[in-house]
Amino acid sequence: MTEPIEPTKKKRPKWQLILGAVVAVLVALIAIGAIFGEDKKDEPAKAVASAAPSSTTTAAATTTTTAAPAPSSTIPPTTPKPSTPAAAAAKTSDPRCAPASDELTFLVSSGLSTDGYELTNGTVIKDGDLTFYGATTVDGTGKVKNRSDVWVVKDNLVYASSGGARNGTIWTKASDAPLKISAGDARVQAVDQCVVNITTN
């Protein structure tokens, strides 16, 4: 009994194998391109979608910055100016400041070099045998000429300290001997500020 002969498998030519491989690679590339191409097409839409919230945020921020101001009742009130010179002096002046006597004001004003000028708001700080005298210089109509000037008095001798005091009176400069007290001295500055605080015009 003869055995059945198995059919022999035909081998494909090499060119068919190569062609099949090339076709498979092309199909794979097309599939990959289609996937990534869809992603790229979606990118503009995603960009528009992501831009929309930022525009809303910007609009919200703009709305916040351009919102109407709060009612005046919620705005903290500014500190009102004191109604009287005494109140201003008590609030911001050096506690050593005190009103000057009429005699001292007369003594200092006797050295004024312009006729018709007088001193007002006389204020003193006493430090040992020195008296730091500050005052406002006004003309005959009461108009302020120098808001505040300072002189130093020792043993009834008057010395001019501030620029206006030196230029507007005949008194010797306090910065010279024997006092050698400059216009920047803390006591000079303190009495000057006291006079400024009580000068209303």
This prediction has a pTM of 0.55
Place of tokens 């120098």: 146
- In tens, the pLDDT along 161-200 reads 999 999 999 999 999 999 999 999 999 999 999 999 998 7
Sequence-separated (6 or more) residues with CB below 8 Å from residue 124: 97, 98, 99, 100, 104, 131, 132, 133, 134, 191
